Amino acid sequence: MPKLFNRTLILKIEGEVYDQNTKPEDIIKNYTWSFSNDGRPHSFKLEARHKDSRGLITKVIPLSKIGRWKKQDTEYFVI
């Protein structure tokens, strides 16, 4: 069985805002994010949906920095 790990990925998000009173953070927070791997061991899908007309995300670029998460990795193999 595998050892477990936790890491963070940093994404660069580009988008458009159509309203003068809306901040980019408001647009990003309005998305519903979901993750699935559809039973495929070496691939996954990250999906984001929204119903907001004040703006949208047009591009997501993963950056090279990978950080550690608060939760520690397992020191043993999980059985």
List C-alpha distances in Å: 29 to 8, 26, 37, 68. Answer: 18, 5, 23, 23
pLDDT one-digit tens code per residue, 6-58: 899 999 999 999 999 999 999 999 999 999 988 888 899 999 999 989 999 99
Look up the pTM and report it.
0.70
For residue 76, the SS3 value is coil
Angstrom distance (rounded) from CA 54 to CA 22: 7
Segments making up each domain of the chain, as ranges: 7-68
